[in-house]
Structure 1
């Protein structure tokens, strides 16, 4: 994998650069309490794996919801509604989902992983161009700005804005075009072997999978446990 030909690095966002903080369960519990429901975070936490499974099933069935802001918003809302039904407050699912979604549109409900800033700074010191290529809604650039991450990136390519989503190689092609760098000189880091790994590879980009939990043991692409390892690979 090590090569001196890399001129630019692209990053996925969710589960790669940032994570919810407070967690989804904590945020749903807060909103529920504010709306008069006698529920705590302990009531929501057991249903987080089911929420993840719901998203995964919808994504594998037809992930094109990421190709528009409306579709991207809908999948967020649907996940929160689903949890509300599981926890027994389905009658308030719409109101709950709307408030939870509004919370996660704000930068104060996300945090960067501890290894992110060091990695980004090291890559910039190497003179590399950086971009975001993410399946996300149209608010991604504002979110990164609020988290003070936007200045590190030369380009932000959001699926909902450009109308293509990973693993479609077109979204990677657009990133390369905007960066002015050929695909053979670009690496992409993300957490999904399918969307990030296979998608980048199909576009001629070198994929690296960030596998913080060492869960993707069958992944055919290069894996790292921390972004701190990225600069030494390039």
Structure 2
């Protein structure tokens, strides 16, 4: 019987709002650069590819707060160089990163609160397991999501990242549940699926855009669908 449900954060519970491109355009304008959102949007696929390459090469930057901050900054600097303002990459990156440390630059997906409320109504314990910097708990608090969760485990805080099963084991220990009694929901089969399965936790992939049809784990299109899986 499932006693606990864990969640990833980015692309599972939260998404940037305004978008990264919109935020970079706002910061650029404030710093005197004549660049629009569209100027930055064209480089978002390259930024995503940059992150994926760094993650596959060595994703251990998520294991410390300093490393976690560095990967955010490196992505923004990279986009600045592509957009032709490399001379101001450091200043731009620092200001964009500061914006995304605030709750007003994130929003919850429309299905999140209904899902969390439904799970709480079933007296399930809820937790977060995320590759994130040490400011995650404060961000969730500012977004008024923290009261839903009984434990928040960020990779930077514990020095271990998904898919290492150790981070999942730590979360289970904090809640006092066995892995077989838990479910983990996230958007990445290679981190959330592989890691949860290795720890003996039931993995579920949130696939809102049907982009993971080949993954070997259970998938849902909406977090509300979790209520039918339990």
TM-score, normalization by structure 1: 0.98
Counterpart-to-counterpart distance in 1, 2:15 and 2:112: 11
Match of 1:191 in 2: 187
1:65 aligns with 2:77: no
Counterpart-to-counterpart distance in 2, 1:217 and 1:229: 17
Match of 1:139 in 2: 135
Match of 1:212 among 193, 208, 224: 208
Counterpart-to-counterpart distance in 1, 2:214 and 2:207: 11
Match of 1:43 among 23, 39, 43: 39
Aligned-residue offset at 1:105: 0.3
TM-score, normalization by structure 2: 1.00
Match of 1:101 in 2: 97
DSSP-derived class of the 2:161 partner: coil
Where do 5+ consecutive residues of structure 2 fail to align? none
Match of 2:176 in 1: 180
What do the CA deviations read for 1:115-145 (whole angstroms, capped 9, x no partner)? 0000000000001000000000000000000
Provide runs of 4+ in structure 1 moved above 3 Å. none
1:90 aligns with 2:74: no
Counterpart-to-counterpart distance in 2, 1:69 and 1:98: 15
Counterpart-to-counterpart distance in 2, 1:40 and 1:219: 37
DSSP-derived class of the 2:61 partner: helix
Aligned-residue offset at 1:217: 1.4
